[in-house]
Structure 1
Amino acid sequence: MFRLRSLILCTALVIPLAACSGKDASQAQNGLNSALHTGYGSVENGTAWRDIWDSLSNRLQRDGLDAARTQELFARLNTPRTLVPMGAKIKELYSAQFLPSKTSKPVKTAKPRQKSQLERTLGVPGPWYKDVVTRASAAACLDFIRTNCAAFRQAQRIYGVPPEIGAALLFVETRLGRVLGRENAFYSLASMAVTRSPETIADYLDDLPGISTRKAWVRSRMETKADWAYDELKALLEYCFANGIDPYSVPGSIYGAIGMCQFMPSNLPRFAADGDSDGIINIFEAPDAIASLSRYLKENGWKRGMTQREQAKVLLRYNKSTTYANTILALARYITFLEHPALARKAANASALSSKTKRGPTVKASAAKVKRNARKSTAKTRKL
């Protein structure tokens, strides 16, 4: 077990209930319940949801969670479950399994993808996430490295992960901690854990081709995802209870990833690390987030002296997306370039040239065509 200082996070879900009493506490709780599904377009109607939360609370207690804390936690949850996380996930899985991708069919007339000037300059192939590999992003990362130089230096010494890679990963994940997720991790995971029936998410499924003959597949996948969410929820609550954290104060992604490096709760005991040696692990603070992501990469194969291809393979274990890995590597290279004026100018020129190339050829071709037509018209006039 590890300890974590209480988090004071400025999000819509952070309501200091401990500081309230009587009428103020009631108003704060009502605000919290309203905030929990702000942005969620689908919550359950009726009154059966109270029994659903009680059942989940009892299950968690049977599985070893502190009874008093668990009961108090769910007693405060005076709002129905949201259907969005499970509905979105099952629709995503169904589409990937049964619906043909628009890009899956080969296009006979398509030409091989041409590398941009910036790709050639940085030496990292695309595709990259849009508007991430830029001078502004690289400059923000470089400032972040300088601000947290001691933590990056220690992480590189222990785990072998260069500061540029760590900063680029944190930028892609949470914009260096500025975007930690709009949802409450506890509420999202609890809702997924108790959503097991296809009938509950019919609004997400009815328009999917062939769904009527695949309800058994949907039910099976929902049960699997609900069990997964339950395990993550239990890990999150163990983490919060052990460290005195109010679960309502922890922002996260729609599927419960938390912290600057967006770890799932079950990964915390395995990979979270104390980056500033204060005896506390807080993945919402830079030193511990830097150490934690570096430890994750090392334990998934990162070594000093790796080739770019080998580095990409390790990054794919963090997120199984080639675009994700390429974007981090390209942004890391851009950060390195900024530390050398000549290379920085080269990257800036390449970036500008790449931008012009994207929108320039059509305009230039049109202008050239107009000039050619003008010359032909003049020649014809002279002949006449």
Structure 2
Amino acid sequence: MLITMQNGFQLRVFSGFLLILLLISKLTFAEEVAVRLGFQKKPLKTLSTKLARNPSLRGWDYLVTKLAADNINPYILRKVYSSRRMPRFKPVEFKLKPREKAAVYSSVTNKKNLGKARAYLKKHKRTFHRVWQHFKVNPYVITAILLIETRFGTATGRSSVLHRLSRMASAADPDNIEHNYRKLKKEDPAVTLNDVRKRALELEEMFYPEIPALFEIAQKRKIDIFRIKGSYAGAFGIPQFLPTSYLKFGYDGNKDGIISLFNEIDAIWSVANYLSSYGWKDSAPLTLQKKVIWHYNHSQPYVDTVIKVAELLKNY
């Protein structure tokens, strides 16, 4: 909500405050919310201050409060997060310095998968040609990504995207920070509370924007937000985009008026649009091409596998 002042300036009102009053009856929670949203300062020495949980929100109080502060409709938030279709919030365990192992991608380059990739290139030859003319992104790197992500749409995931992303977006919930601190402290006595909080805030910064984006997609497409299914990590469709990537890079390749990442043509065009937007050039040095792929997935083993598969397909 905006209040227009006589001098022409506008003051944005903290719209989530109304939701807090409706959902939360204890002042201590409102104060804790103010701390976490940056309106108050408080030294991080202990996590003894607990959220005054509203049972109807099934543990999602922290996330709902932040979303309300960002002007997501309070009625919709309460309807969604109090629904029995939304699992209760459970602790989101994380590592301070996660690293993906190359072994995860060891089967990608086997004979069977490369055979499927070559068949895919042949099947969509015309589409890949049009894509290259428009975006100047070669078919091999696109095919490599689609192979690695979902085996060309045969494994897009059955998890609720809303649930999976909401979990990650709630990483900095005080109770979740405390849970991880106790767990990680047992594993490594050198771990500090600030270490855990810093990592939790990094995860929140990474995943929180995906929730408003997902609500926007559901509204624009007029679909039930609970029916959007994807991977355990919250990505969806053949190319496994996150909601913000769908909104930025989703492309209506088949010109039917609908951008569907579950449509092969749209998926191919969308990946090309993504790579092109980050500066992909077939003539660029390998180091620069790897940086572009890194935007798609922040994993060096992933980047190396994409390059390897693309080269194998190109030189076949």
TM-score (norm 2): 0.70
Q: How many residues get paired?
A: 258
User: Do the aligned partners of residues 316 and 199 (structure 1) sit closer, same or farther apart at CA in structure 2, a change above 3 Å counting?
Assistant: closer
The superposition leaves residues 179-229 of structure 1 with CA deviations (integer Å, 9 ceiling, x where unpaired) of 223532211222233342222345742432125x50122123223423443
> 2-side partners of 1:49 and 1:151: how far apart?
51
- Indicate whether 1:178 and 2:154 are aligned: yes
Coordinate RMSD, CA, aligned: 3.0
1:325 pairs with one of 289, 298, 303: 303
**1:329-368 alignment runs, 5 A limit:** 329-338=307-316
Partner of 1:199: 178
User: Do the aligned partners of residues 243 and 61 (structure 1) sit closer, same or farther apart at CA in structure 2, a change above 3 Å counting?
Assistant: farther
> 1-side partners of 2:235 and 2:83: how far apart?
22
> 1-side partners of 2:170 and 2:123: how far apart?
43
Q: In 2, are the aligned partners of 1:49 and 1:80 still within 8 Å (CA)?
A: no
User: Do the aligned partners of residues 49 and 185 (structure 1) sit closer, same or farther apart at CA in structure 2, a change above 3 Å counting?
Assistant: farther
1:60 pairs with one of 67, 70, 74: 67
> 2-side partners of 1:192 and 1:310: how far apart?
30
Which structure is higher in helix share? 1
Q: Percent identity at matched positions? A: 27
**1:22-41 alignment runs, 5 A limit:** none
Partner of 1:146: 122
Letter in 2 for 1:82: K
- Indicate whether 1:281 and 2:255 are aligned: no
User: Do the aligned partners of residues 227 and 310 (structure 1) sit closer, same or farther apart at CA in structure 2, a change above 3 Å counting?
Assistant: closer
Letter in 2 for 1:199: E
2:136 pairs with one of 141, 150, 160: 160
Letter in 2 for 1:207: K
Q: In 2, are the aligned partners of 1:135 and 1:334 still within 8 Å (CA)?
A: no
Residue 162 of structure 1: how far off its partner (Å) = 1.5
Partner of 1:14: none
Q: In 1, are the aligned partners of 2:54 and 2:61 still within 8 Å (CA)?
A: no
User: Do the aligned partners of residues 148 and 66 (structure 1) sit closer, same or farther apart at CA in structure 2, a change above 3 Å counting?
Assistant: farther
- Indicate whether 1:87 and 2:66 are aligned: no
> 2-side partners of 1:305 and 1:224: how far apart?
34
Q: In 2, are the aligned partners of 1:316 and 1:322 still within 8 Å (CA)?
A: yes
Q: In 2, are the aligned partners of 1:49 and 1:81 still within 8 Å (CA)?
A: no
> 1-side partners of 2:152 and 2:130: how far apart?
18
2:271 pairs with one of 267, 274, 293: 293
Residue 258 of structure 1: how far off its partner (Å) = 2.1
Partner of 2:56: 50
Q: In 1, are the aligned partners of 2:56 and 2:82 still within 8 Å (CA)?
A: no
Q: Decide which structure has the larger Cα Rg and report it.
A: 1
Residue 95 of structure 1: how far off its partner (Å) = 6.1
The superposition leaves residues 241-265 of structure 1 with CA deviations (integer Å, 9 ceiling, x where unpaired) of 2111222222233332222222222
User: Do the aligned partners of residues 190 and 309 (structure 1) sit closer, same or farther apart at CA in structure 2, a change above 3 Å counting?
Assistant: closer
Letter in 2 for 1:73: V
Partner of 2:284: 306
Partner of 1:76: 83
**1:217-228 alignment runs, 5 A limit:** 217-228=195-206
User: Do the aligned partners of residues 49 and 210 (structure 1) sit closer, same or farther apart at CA in structure 2, a change above 3 Å counting?
Assistant: farther
> 1-side partners of 2:188 and 2:103: how far apart?
30
Bigger mean CA offset, 242-251 vs 218-227: 218-227
| Structure 2 gap ranges (5+) | 1-52
> 1-side partners of 2:219 and 2:205: how far apart?
21
Letter in 2 for 1:187: H
Q: In 2, are the aligned partners of 1:57 and 1:70 still within 8 Å (CA)?
A: yes
- Indicate whether 1:237 and 2:243 are aligned: no
User: Do the aligned partners of residues 236 and 205 (structure 1) sit closer, same or farther apart at CA in structure 2, a change above 3 Å counting?
Assistant: same
Letter in 1 for 2:189: G
Residue 135 of structure 1: how far off its partner (Å) = 2.7
Letter in 2 for 1:81: F
User: Do the aligned partners of residues 64 and 242 (structure 1) sit closer, same or farther apart at CA in structure 2, a change above 3 Å counting?
Assistant: farther
- Indicate whether 1:208 and 2:187 are aligned: yes
Partner of 2:33: none
The superposition leaves residues 70-95 of structure 1 with CA deviations (integer Å, 9 ceiling, x where unpaired) of 33322324531132xx313xx2x246
Residue 286 of structure 1: how far off its partner (Å) = 1.2
User: Do the aligned partners of residues 58 and 241 (structure 1) sit closer, same or farther apart at CA in structure 2, a change above 3 Å counting?
Assistant: farther
The superposition leaves residues 250-308 of structure 1 with CA deviations (integer Å, 9 ceiling, x where unpaired) of 22333322222222222222211111111211112211111111111111121243344
> 2-side partners of 1:265 and 1:167: how far apart?
21
